[in-house]
Copies of this chain bind each other. A is one copy, B any other.
Amino acid sequence: MKFSSKVEKCGLSPMRKFHPFAVAAEQKGKKIYHLNIGQPDIETPKAFFEAVKHFDLPVLEYAPSPGMPVLIDAIQKYYDKLNIHFEKDEILITVGGSEALQIVLQCILDDGDEILIPEPFYPNYNTMVNTCGAKIHPVPTTPEEGYHYADRAKIEAEINEHTRAIMCTNPGNPTGCVLTPEEMRLMVDIAKEHELYIIGDEAYREFVYAGEPLQSLGEFTDAADNVIVIDTVSKRFSACGARIGCILTRNHALLAQAMKYCQARLSVATLDQVASAALYDVGPAYFAAVREEYKRRRDTVMRKLEAIPGVICKCPKGAFYLMAALPVDDADRFQQWLLEEFDDNGDTVMFAPGEPFYGTPGKGKNEIRIAYVLKQEDLERAMDLLALGIEAYNKR
């Protein structure tokens, strides 16, 4: 029985690759510190669960296909507070940021088309782009330059007649890169000049640590046809399991195409929309506390990394990830060895090996992604284990 050639080009999540080895290590009694997954440990605001408890309609009906007015209102007000205005019909509610991306990519990418994505990038983009019959054209960056990509020459060198769009994951997963206002302007200008869509995947908007104001590509009203913003409650409110996201764009022709997908899948979960609307009542104190907590963690990770000889890592400015080049031959082999051969008092550590975050074959072999989603003392222990592991691995 044949499968689609498109799905055959896709792979399983690289983040799960070491799961069987982790299970085996745990069965031998090892304790694993997880720096490999982006599931935050921050509590979801109680407002979510309160709203759910107070839902009292007798029939759990389909919501409207573009989303429930209560949630669209809440998101509109959130953006208004950032001085970014979207009309209500310029906001489409989706099943997480993932569905928002899938719908947008299905609308804009055709067989043979290309989308520019600075590498390293979020590996799930691969499946989303492949299933459109399109392909990712990676924009190369280096750990030495802190994965910097917002450079006219660098971007324009990769544009060709198949290019349809540019993806800006900002703040970046896996790099933690945050664009400056000037860099955002530059990226939008390039998109405008070359008539490309520019997608801002802005799931980590609140997670910026240098006191900078919150940013969005949605600011650029002069590029109404080009700019598409992808948003989600997942990381903002530590509500990943709600699966609530949205598409924001002022391109009404695109909205009309996207509506076809929204109607075909009928609606997004009713209760999660109602509860996510309540999340937006959370005040700035919530974000300030969360931001402070992550900044402390980032600083811990950086301090520990800087003490390891041979590590290359520029301090990231946002998200809760960073990429680092390690003084090891192969991060995959090193991870497997950490799970199978290494322990310190019964403890070991997991990270995400870097290669699957690259589109260019062979790149990222000695790099890793660290998700700093552990509380302070666990994070310190995890980073010490990484340092001890590198030393022992290179002495084998």
Q: Write the residues of chain A forming the contact surface with B, with a CB cutoff of 8 angstroms.
A: 1-8, 10-13, 16, 39-44, 48-49, 52-53, 55-56, 58-63, 65, 95-96, 98-99, 102, 106-111, 113, 124, 127-128, 131-133, 164, 195, 197, 225-226, 238-243, 251, 253-254, 257, 259-261, 263-272, 275
Asked whether, in the complex, the Cβ of A98 is within 8 Å of the Cβ of B61, the reply is no
**Known A264-B127, A267-B241, A271-B241: A109·B10 in contact at CB below 8 Å:** no
> How far is B256's CA from A11's CA once the two chains are assembled, in angstroms?
10
A1-B225, A95-B95, A106-B131 are known; give 20 further A-B pairs, CB within 8 A: A1-B195, A1-B226, A4-B108, A4-B110, A10-B260, A41-B59, A44-B59, A49-B55, A59-B238, A60-B239, A62-B240, A62-B241, A95-B265, A124-B264, A127-B261, A133-B133, A241-B267, A241-B270, A269-B272, A272-B272
Q: What residues of B have a CB within 8 angstroms of the CB of A239 in the complex? A: 60
A59 to B41, CA, bound (A): 7
> Please, which residues of chain B bring their CB within 8 A of the CB of A12?
259-260, 263
Query: Measured between alpha carbons, how far is A158 from B317 in the docked complex, in Å?
Result: 59
Chain B nearest CB: distance from A276 CB in Å?
Answer: 10
Closest to A270 in B: B241
Residue contact A260 to B127, C-beta cutoff 8 Å = yes
Selected contact of A267 from candidates B106, B243, B261, CB within 8 Å:
B243
B7→A241 contact, CB < 8 A = no
A59 CA to B197 CA, complexed, in Å: 35
Residues of B within 8 A of A124 (CB): 263-266
What residues of B have a CB within 8 angstroms of the CB of A11 in the complex? Answer: 260
Number of identical protomers? 2
CA gap between A299 and B60 in the complex, in Å? 26
B residues near A164, Cβ cutoff 8 Å? 2
Rounded to whole angstroms, the CA-CA distance of A63 and B234 in the bound complex is: 12
**B contact residues around A106 at 8 Å (CB):** 4, 6-7, 131
Q: Is the interface of A mostly helix, strand, loop or mixed?
A: loop
Contact B62 A108 (CB under 8 A): no
* B7:A260 contact, CB within 8 angstroms: yes
Query: Given A5-B110, A7-B257, A53-B53, A48 and B61 touching (CB < 8 A)?
Result: no
**Do A3 and B257 have beta carbons less than 8 Å apart?**
yes
Q: Which residues of chain B are near A7, meaning CB under 8 Å?
A: 106-107, 257, 260-261
Give chain B residues whose Cβ lies under 8 Å from the Cβ of A269.
95, 241-243, 269, 272
Among the listed B107, B197, B243, which residue makes an inter-chain contact with A268, where contact means beta carbons less than 8 Å apart?
Answer: B243
Known interface pairs A99-B265, A243-B268, A264-B98; A110-B6 also in contact (CB < 8 Å): yes
From B40, B96, B111, B264, A266 is in contact (CB under 8 Å) with B96
25 contacts between A and B (CB under 8 A): A1-B197, A2-B108, A3-B257, A4-B109, A6-B106, A7-B261, A10-B261, A12-B263, A49-B55, A52-B55, A60-B241, A62-B240, A63-B241, A98-B266, A102-B264, A106-B131, A111-B111, A111-B133, A124-B263, A124-B265, A124-B266, A127-B264, A241-B270, A243-B268, A271-B271
Give chain B residues whose Cβ lies under 8 Å from the Cβ of A49.
Answer: 55-56
In contact, A48 and B62 (Cβ under 8 angstroms): no
Q: Are B39 and A58 in contact (CB under 8 A)?
A: no
Instruction: Give chain B residues whose Cβ lies under 8 Å from the Cβ of A1.
Output: 108, 195, 197, 225-226, 251, 253-254
The distance in angstroms between the C-alpha atoms of A133 and B112, with both chains bound, is 13
Complex Cα gap A254–B241 (Å):
26
The 10 closest A-B pairs by CB, nearest first: A241-B270, A127-B264, A60-B241, A13-B263, A98-B265, A243-B269, A44-B60, A10-B260, A62-B240, A4-B110
